[in-house]
């Protein structure tokens, strides 16, 4: 029987998860995209994160990087200052526009802006040295996380590096009520009511999962976990290498 790829809608198969749909907080909203950095800086130290990544991943000026779910480009900008090329990939055009304006103000010209996601991005250049994805993979259900990580593996050079950081759960299942409340109340205390409400939407509508699931998906998509940093019961950083 002849293999059939199936009917498509735009870039995706008709049965493929629609990653362009904004579950949780809607960052396709222009005003929300413009205010994103102001809100997130209450929770994150962009400069510290970028410097740590640059050092750990050994970023240098001949490397090509993909930043999946780049958002407004807090990490993209810093990587672009130190590498050959960055492909900035995001499902939100308004977020990419904020990044484009930041890059323009700083005279940065080695960023390619791509309105796509893990499942729809097509990498047509040479294999890349590093893929970064921070606080974004939770937008996909677990099956599609596996598909996304498999696709990312295929975009990397041999022994290329993957940095994955996200809301990932390492607590015992029986403790979920206390742990989720701790997560949400921590956001409220650090960043206020608006981000607390976004956190509630995250838990209700998005797809954060357990580390033992992510561990196995990484193994089955041919990544070796070099380092796994559990900063809390709800946050984990993975440093991986393509096998």
**DSSP secondary structure of 7-34:** -EETTEETTS--TTS--SS-TTSHHHHH
> Could you read off the pLDDT of 203-219 as tens digits, one per residue?
999 999 999 999 999 99
Both tokens of 126, joined, read: 């040479």
For residue 2, what pLDDT is reported?
43
For residue 206, what pLDDT is reported?
96
> Could you read off the pLDDT of 148-175 as tens digits, one per residue?
999 999 999 999 999 999 999 999 999 9
For residue 181, what pLDDT is reported?
98
Per-residue pLDDT of the chain (243 residues; tens, 9 = 90+): 344 456 676 667 889 999 987 776 666 666 665 666 666 656 677 788 889 999 999 999 999 999 999 999 989 999 999 999 999 999 999 999 999 999 999 999 999 999 999 999 999 989 999 999 999 999 999 999 999 999 999 999 999 999 999 999 999 999 999 999 999 999 999 989 989 999 999 999 999 999 999 999 999 999 999 999 999 999 999 999 999
Q: Are 117 and 123 in contact (CB under 8 A)?
A: no
Q: Are 73 and 102 in contact (CB under 8 A)?
A: yes
For residue 23, what pLDDT is reported?
73
For residue 43, what pLDDT is reported?
67
The topology (CATH level 3) of 8-242 is: Rossmann fold (3.40.50)
For residue 143, what pLDDT is reported?
98
pTM score = 0.91
Q: Is 227 exposed, middle or buried (0-12, 13-18, 19+ CB in 10 A)?
A: exposed
């Amino acid at each position: 029987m002849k293999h059939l790829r199936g009917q498509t809608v735009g870039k995706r198969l008709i049965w493929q998860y629609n990653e362009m749909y904004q579950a949780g907080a809607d960052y396709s909203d222009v005003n929300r995209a413009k205010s994103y950095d102001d809100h997130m800086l209450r929770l994150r130290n962009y400069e510290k994160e970028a410097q740590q990544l640059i050092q750990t991943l050994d970023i240098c000026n001949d490397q090509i990087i993909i930043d999946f779910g780049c958002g407004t480009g807090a990490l993209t900008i810093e990587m672009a200052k130190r590498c050959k090329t960055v492909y900035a990939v995001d499902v939100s055009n308004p977020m990419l526009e904020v990044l484009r304006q930041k890059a323009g103000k700083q005279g940065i010209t080695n960023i390619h802006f791509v309105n796509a996601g893990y499942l729809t991005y097509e990498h047509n250049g040479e294999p890349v040295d590093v893929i970064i994805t921070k606080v974004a993979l939770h937008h996909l259900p677990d099956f599609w996380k596996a598909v996304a990580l498999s696709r990312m593996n295929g975009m990397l050079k041999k022994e290329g590096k993957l940095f994955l950081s996200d809301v990932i759960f390492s607590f015992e299942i029986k403790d979920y009520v206390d742990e989720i409340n701790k997560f949400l109340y921590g956001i409220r205390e650090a960043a206020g009511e608006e981000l607390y409400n976004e956190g509630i939407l995250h838990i209700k509508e998005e797809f954060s999962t357990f580390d033992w699931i992510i561990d196995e998906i990484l193994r089955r998509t041919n990544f070796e976990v070099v380092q796994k940093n559990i900063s809390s019961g709800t946050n984990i950083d993975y440093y991986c290498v393509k096998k």
